[in-house]
Chain A
Amino acid sequence: MSLMEFLHMGGYAAYVWPSYAFTALALGWMTLAARRAHRNALSAARKRLAMEKSAS
């Protein structure tokens, strides 16, 4: 099977590839968003602690 044949997906390329792309997008988004949420929570805690220190 040539690369062009593979990409052609037996005539279904316009449906198969966008499906995989969107699912990859969903998985990628949920991973990055979760990591960002955790990082933000951590830096917020850090900021709060620094403010407490400077206040006391």
Chain B
Amino acid sequence: MWTWFHKLASPPHVYRIAGLLVPWFGWVGGVLIAVGVVWGLRFAPADYQQGDGFRILYVHAPSAWMSMFTYVVMALAAGIGLIWRMKVAHAVAASCAPIGAAFTASALVTGALWGQRMWGTWWVWDARLTSELILLFLYFGYIALRSAYDDQQRADRASAILALVGVVNIPIIHYSVVWWNTLHQAASVTKLARPSIAPEMLIPLILMFFGFNIVFGAVLLTRLRGEVLLRERNADWIRALVAQP
């Protein structure tokens, strides 16, 4: 079992498998998003309160979900890298940060547009919005901290600790609409009870969620391949790989 695991997590193996998976993930995720966008914009019925404005949900909610999910993946990978001194895990963590930052920016911008229309303001300093902004700064801080070290191992360890400390922000974001009074509406899909959203509105949202997650997988694996190449610069398998025409 452990030899199998070590073989699986060995850099040349990761590089090769990731290369095989990327096109599949990219196309499947891309098609899901395309179908979700057309369905969400054209065929889902308008909301009885928010009219066609609610269609921002289809890009806002998946972006916001991915902004948190990416952070959890990053923190988990950083933790695994710290505890088991696994280079590939550190490479995964480092690959997550720019992707998470992009999702967070998307969540904030689409949220501001939605807020301006529905609440009459781009921004309020309430718990949900502020904690999401802190998430963006955590990603930026993580990237900046990594680039401050020349030594790869030090960068890995210091940034892993930042990632692990910052994970406390994730439950704060998620429960902020429950714990504090906020303009932000409460969750309508991830409730434990039945989701309070009509099925014909829900299906495109589910497509978008899956599409975003799978595209994230493709982008993460592509970045991971680059990271592995940089880290393993002197390994023989890279010589062999590069020597190929």
Q: Interface residues, chain A, CB within 8 Å of chain B?
A: 6, 9-12, 15-16, 18-20, 22-23, 26-27, 29-31, 33-35, 37-42, 44-46, 48-49
B98 with A33: CB separation less than 8 A: yes
The 8 Å CB contact of B229, one of A16, A26, A38, is A38
CB-CB under 8 A from B113, the residues of chain A are: 15, 18-19, 22
Known: A15-B117, A49-B243. A30 touches B238 (CB 8 A): no
A45 with B233: CB separation less than 8 A: yes
8 chain-A/chain-B pairs, Cβ below 8 angstroms: A15-B117, A16-B55, A27-B102, A38-B229, A44-B233, A45-B229, A49-B239, A49-B243
- Bound CA–CA A40/B98 (angstroms): 16
CB-CB under 8 A from A6, the residues of chain B are: 41-42
CB-CB under 8 A from B241, the residues of chain A are: 45
Asked if B68 CB lies within 8 Å of chain A CBs, one says no
Distance to closest chain A CB from B84 (angstroms): 24
Q: How many residues of B contact A (CB 8 A)?
A: 43
Q: Interface residues, chain B, CB within 8 Å of chain A?
A: 26, 33, 37, 41-42, 46, 51-53, 55-56, 59-60, 63, 98-99, 102-103, 105-106, 109-110, 113-114, 116-117, 215, 218-220, 222-223, 225-227, 229-230, 233, 238-239, 241-243
Which DSSP category, helix, strand, loop or mixed, fits chain B's interface? helix
A38 with B222: CB separation less than 8 A: yes
Distance to closest chain B CB from A23 (angstroms): 4
- Bound CA–CA A38/B222 (angstroms): 7
